[in-house]
Structure 1
Amino acid sequence: MVLGWLLLLVMALSLVTTGTMDCIFCELADSSNYPGIPMTYGKDQECLMGEGTAPGLSPIINKGAMDISSYRRLEEPVTYQGITYSLTFTCHYGELCNRPPPPQAA
């Protein structure tokens, strides 16, 4: 009986994950070349890419996903290594839109 309930639960969970979105994730980092790791997010989320700037400093990046309903502010302040950056979000146009660009041919 328990095995039957477990099988039913597994089947139900597989149905829930059909509306997922793959995005790249990385915490705040100081290099735009940081590739991040692929992660699967829920169906009500969109990929995002954040680029933070501060006067006289190299930019920082952040990648992940955000609830579609929360995607109102396209810019917000963040603190990274004691410095406040203005983080601007882009890339909310589909699966893996926040992956690194392909290497350019020489």
Structure 2
Amino acid sequence: MKAALKEMDRQVGGLKTDQQDIAYRGLIIRHLMMPGGLEDTKGILRFIKAELSPDCLVNLMDQYRPAHQAYKYEELSRRVSSREFREAVTLAEKLGLRLAT
């Protein structure tokens, strides 16, 4: 994943928008947070800050929903908590990442 993001960043750089704020070029990173995966998310956010263009747009997503047989696996049987999501957003803001709203 890191190598792919670096290559995409090399090819298109940070997000560029026109006068109407419509994106026409650049990197948008959509990160689906997983329950119990806050430390992984923090590592990804730090990687984005350290290794990619500062204008990359980061979309933190908390939409994971347990479905089908996820209940069989404790780590997948719940949604991302609001605390986990808020902590990730707070770190992204502290790092100065450009967040999708």
TM-score tier (shorter): under 0.3
> Is the strand fraction higher in 1 or 2?
1
Structure number with greater Rg is 1
Report the TM-score when normalising by structure 2: 0.26
> Is the helix fraction higher in 1 or 2?
2
